[in-house]
Amino acid sequence: MYCQLDTSAFSSSSQKTYGLDCEMVGCGSRAEVSMLARVTLVSFSPPDPAATVTATFDPDHYTVVYDRIVAPTSKVKDYRTK
Nearest to 79 by CA among 69, 66, 64, 68: 69
Percentage of residues of the chain with pLDDT beyond 90: 49
**Average pLDDT value for residue range 4-31:** 78
pLDDT band per the 50, 70, 90 thresholds, residue 73: very high
Return the beta strands (E) in the chain as ranges.
17-27, 33-44, 62-69, 76-78
Supply the pTM of this predicted model.
Answer: 0.68
pLDDT band per the 50, 70, 90 thresholds, residue 1: very low
Percentage of residues of the chain with pLDDT beyond 70: 67
The confidence score (pLDDT) of residue 31 equals: 95
